[in-house]
Amino acid sequence: MSIQKISLQTVVALGLGAGAMTLVSSGTVLSLLTQATIYAVFAIGVGLLLRQNGMVSFGHALFFGAAGYIVGMLLQAKVMPAEWAIAAALLGLLVVSFAMGLVIVRVPGVAFGMLTLAVGQMFYLTASRSRGFTGGADGMNIEWPNSLFGVSMSVLTKPATMFMISWSTLVIVIVLLALLLSTRFGGITEAVRDNEERARFIGIRTLLPRAAVYALSALVTGIAGLLSALNTGFVSPENLHWSLSGVALMMVVVGGYKALWGPAIGAVVYFMAKDILGDYANHWMAIFGVALITVIVFSPTGIAGILDKLFMGRKLAHASHAARH
Amino acid sequence: MQTDDVAIHYGGVKALDGVSITLAKGQIRGLIGPNGAGKTTVINAITGRQPLTRGKVTLLGEDVSHTDAVQRRMRGLSRSFQRTSVFGQMPVRKQVELASHMMGVEDSGADADDVLRELSLDHLSHSIAQDLGYGEQRRLDLALALVGRPAVLLLDEPMAGLSVQESLDLAKHLQALTSRRNVSVLLVEHDMDVVFGISDAVTVFELGRVIAQGTPAEVRANPRVREAYLGSAA
């Protein structure tokens, strides 16, 4: 894909966000859209691991919650400005997750999923019980300063601004990942995912690319965690709980992981279902569960797969029509 | 390429015992024997997939026994697998070009195109590997092993599951490639017509040991081989 095409798509996507921000006047709707967008970034992180490594994580909430906790604790300790705390949190997550990845990506299949679950729950319990550091089960308020990156906090936390920040982050994350995966790194990780043994016999050392993808997916999830911390000004052990990782996985399955943007669609569908079905049924998740099963049975590639087929079908029809004339 | 007194033991089980094979430059050596004789284990031992209990593997005059699979591949030792081993979700050319790049070939695109043309896969460059027919996937497996101009190619039952015509085509490709690329081939294969038809030398295995070596005619005439393996096929 050419740089011009990517640039154009980026501008269009940002324009769509700006349009939505201008057109939607309801704070509640904007707030819902912001949440959906933040979770879209989270789901893209989880989906990236599945797409490039073929691995399912049940513990990615660890990185979602940890980002908020790191910033919260650094701001509480007043050791650095908030901007530096954000950078430190992301860099710290990247380094720690890469080191973790070097160990856990060696474990194949279901065992990997169980290991991520165990590690995630270990941190959940630690955060729940370390009242002095994390506020325990009550969670902690994040003491954001009056301004961040030169913008007043009162402006930043307005629903419209918060939505635009989240939306821009989502677009930038997708574009940067698409660019990265179009390089040699993308090909190497696809080869390792498809056939690790054959990859070794074409000269690829398979551990580093796998660990790098794990760290990258943790970083993306951490970015979502930071957005959530900025949006709510609060972080609690619930942000680390495995059920949150499960929700992100559902978004990935519904949206489809073969396209980078698929999980984002899943996040939007999830929040729409939650909002609309939640008005009529307490146990809306049961209905969503049926939708999930339907997608798995009839379109294992998710909504993105359906859209892709429709789009490709139209493209092919167009091409054959052009060929006939 | 040479193996000297190579042994792989699993506790009391001797999967390989005292195996010495020499593969001369540009030679095709067939490796035959009944199921469970240790043919695939020899390939695994040579490529570093399984550690040796005893003995050494020499490649281009250098002892590579203590190097791993990636290092051996970088030094010119390549292989195909008993089960087709390609990158299922990747387009054909993309994966062959990647393999060539990983081998340090400067113009990896041209190298990939050459190999694909030689194996008559060039018209499938943009196809996804898992959508190919079985015979085409076998040739793609061979293409992945051939890029970067390896000195030694170890082929583990490349004809398995192919029709007679596909086997003959692949054998023809193999023979042409070996002379054109001056690559030595160790060929594990059950199709005796192919092995005796294209090999310069044949080694016969039984229960992890070499029981006979020589030219195809010598091996065919060996009474022990006829008794242990070839039977009426000879």
Two tokens, residue B109: 């695109």
What does the block give as tokens for A41? 């970034």
Do B107 and B202 fall into the same domain?
no
- Chain B neighbors of A50, CB-CB under 8 A: none
Check residue B234 and give its pLDDT.
46
The tokens for A202 are 């074409």
CB-defined contacts A:B, below 8 A: 61
Pair B161, B226 in one domain: yes
Whole domain around residue B204: which residue ranges?
Answer: 2-76+150-233
Asked whether A58 and A118 are in contact (CB, 8 A), the reply is no
**CATH (residue range A3-324):** 1.10.3470
Confidence at residue A308, expressed as pLDDT on a 0 to 100 scale: 85
Q: Which of residues 160-189 of B touch A (CB under 8 A)?
A: none
3-class secondary structure for A27-52? HHHHHHHHHHHHHHHHHHHHHHHHHH
Bigger pLDDT: A314 or A220? A220
pLDDT of res. B101:
96
- Which residue of chain A comes nearest to B148, CA vs CA? A202
* Higher per-residue pLDDT: A311 or B131: B131
CA A137 – CA B216 distance, rounded (Å): 77
Q: What whole-number percentage of chain A has pLDDT above 70?
A: 96
Q: Could you tell me the pTM of the whole model?
A: 0.89
Kindly report the three-state secondary structure assignment for every residue of chain B. Answer: CEEEEEEEEECCEEEEEEEEEECCCCCEEEEECCCCCCHHHHHHHHHCCCCCCEEEEEECCEECCCCCHHHHHHCCEEECCCCCCCCCCCEHHHHHHHHHHHCCCCCHHHHHHHHHHHCCCHHHCCCEHHHCCHHHHHHHHHHHHHCCCCCEEEEECCCCCCCHHHHHHHHHHHHHHHHHHCCEEEEECCCHHHHHHHCCEEEEEECCEEEEEECHHHHHHCHHHHHHHHHHHC
pLDDT at A3: 76
Q: Among residues of chain A, what percentage have pLDDT more than 90?
A: 74
Domain ranges of chain A: 3-324
Residue B59, SS3 per DSSP: strand
What is the domain count for chain B?
Answer: 2
- CATH label of the domain that carries residue B203: 3.40.50.300
Q: Is A275 on the interface with B (CB under 8 A)?
A: no
DSSP letter, residue A224: H
The pLDDT of residue B162: 84
- DSSP class of residue A258? S
Mapped onto helix, strand or coil, the DSSP state of residue B10 is strand
Tell which wins on pLDDT, A277 or A102: A102
Spell out which residues of chain A touch residue B69, defining contact as CB-CB under 8 Å. Answer: 200-201
DSSP A89: H
**Alpha carbon distance B70, A197 (integer Å):** 10
Nearest Cα to Cα of residue B208 among B72, B31, B57: B31
Residue B172 and residue B210 in one domain: yes
Confidence (pLDDT) at A79: 92
Q: Which residue of A lies nearest to B71 if distances are taken between CA atoms?
A: A203
Same domain for B155 and B124, yes or no, is no
Given this model, what pLDDT does residue B12 score?
A: 83
The pLDDT of A220-246, averaged and rounded, is 96
Comparing A22-31, A80-89, A313-322, B68-77, the range with the smallest average pLDDT is A313-322
Mutate to test the interface with A, among B79, B92, B98 (most CBs of A within 10 A): B98
Q: What span, in angstroms and rounded, lies between the C-alpha atoms of A37 and A210? A: 27
How far is B48 from B145, CA to CA, in rounded Å? 16
In this structure, the answer to whether residues B72 and B90 fall within a common structural domain is no
Average pLDDT across chain A, whole number: 92
Q: A234: burial class by Cβ within 10 Å (0-12, 13-18, 19+)? A: middle
B120 and B218, same domain (yes or no): no
Enumerate the residues of chain A whose CB falls inside 8 A of the CB of residue B95.
187, 191
For residue A213, give how far its alpha carbon lies from the nearest alpha carbon of chain B (Å).
Answer: 18
Q: Does residue B121 share a domain with residue B35?
A: no
pLDDT the model gives residue A320: 57
Whether residues B124 and B156 fall in one domain: no
Which residue, A92, A93, A112, A96, is CA-closest to A104?
Answer: A112
- Below-70 pLDDT ranges, chain B: 230-234
* Contact yes or no for B89 and A190 at CB 8 A: yes
Q: What is the mean pLDDT of residues A260-282?
A: 89
Hey, is the C-beta of A200 within 8 angstroms of any chain B C-beta? yes
